[in-house]
Amino acid sequence: MALGNRAAGSATTRDRIILALDVSSLADALSLVKATRESVGMYKVGMELFYSVGIPGLRAVMSEGVSVFLDLKLHDIPTTVERASRVLAATGVAMLNVHCLGGLRMMKAAADAVGSLQDGSARHAKVIGVTVLTSLSQDEVTSELGIERPLVDQVTALALNAKKAGLDGVVASPWEVSSIRKACGDGFAIVTPGVRPRWAGVDDQRRVTTPGEAIRSGADYVVVGRAVTRDKDPRSAAARVLTDIEAELGECEC
C-alpha cells in the first residue's frame, strides 16, 4: 500500500482506513481483523496490544496477510531510537512512528536506520512523526506545555522538521491537515486520528472531524478505533464507516 497517495494516485477509499486494534488480547485482535478486513486497509497495533503480546503477537496479526502500522511513538536519544527502529522495521510492519519533539537528529536516525534495511526483496517500512496528540487542546498545549504559538503553526512546523529529517509523513489531527498539505506538498503522507463518524461519540479526543472531512482536507489515511472496535457488530460498523466515507466524498477526487 502506497503512502502519500496524492503522489501515487492509486489508493482506494478502503486503503485509506486504518483500524486501531486497541485491545490487550491477541484473540480479540485477530477476531477484529477477520471481521473487518473487507472494509479496512491497514491495522494499527499500539502500546496496549504490543506490550501485551510483543513481537510474536505482532507477527501473528501480520500472518493474516494484512498491513500493520506499529504505533509506539518512539521518543528517546537518537542512538536508542535508531536501534529500536531497526528492530521494529525488521518485523515487516508497513509503518512505524516516532515523536517529532525528539528533534531532527532523532528523526533522521530513525529514518536512516529503517532505510538501511531496504533491499531488492524487502518492503521498506515507512517512518512517520507524531506532531501533537489529538487529545490535547490549545489551552492545554499553552498552559501545560508552555507552547505559545497556535496549534496549527506548531504542528505545521513539526511536520516541516519531519520532512527535513527524511520521514515519510506525520500523524496530525484533522484540524491541521490542510496547513500541513500546503507546507509539505503532495508526496508527504498525513495519517489522521481524531476522526469520528457522525454516529459515534467524541470520547477523549479534542480536535476531531468526520473521516470524510479529514480526507477532503488532505489526509491520506484516517485512523478509526472505538466506533468500530467497541460496537457489538464490528463487521457492520467497519462497513458503515467505509460507506459513510464514500458517500461523504462523493465524486470528489480526494
Domain assignment present for residue 72? The answer is: yes
5 close to 190: Cβ distance less than 8 angstroms: no
Q: What is the pLDDT of residue 207?
A: 57
Q: Which domain range does residue 190 map to?
A: 5-248
Taking CA atoms, 52 is separated from 18, 27, 29, 47, in Å, by 20, 12, 11, 8
- Whether 73 is catalytic: yes
Q: What is the pLDDT of residue 120?
A: 47
Domain assignment present for residue 51? The answer is: yes
Domain assignment present for residue 104? The answer is: yes
pLDDT in tens, 134-154: 888 899 999 999 999 999 999
Give the rounded distance of the alpha carbon of 52 from its chain centre: 20
Domain assignment present for residue 126? The answer is: yes
Domain assignment present for residue 253? The answer is: no
pLDDT in tens, 143-190: 999 999 999 999 999 999 999 999 999 999 988 999 999 999 999 999
Q: How far apart are CA 93 and CA 229, in angstroms?
A: 21
**Residue count of the chain:** 254
What is the tally of structural domains in the chain? 1
Domain assignment present for residue 254? The answer is: no
Annotated catalytic residue: which of 34, 44, 73, 182?
73
Domain assignment present for residue 9? The answer is: yes
CATH number, domain at 110? 3.20.20.70
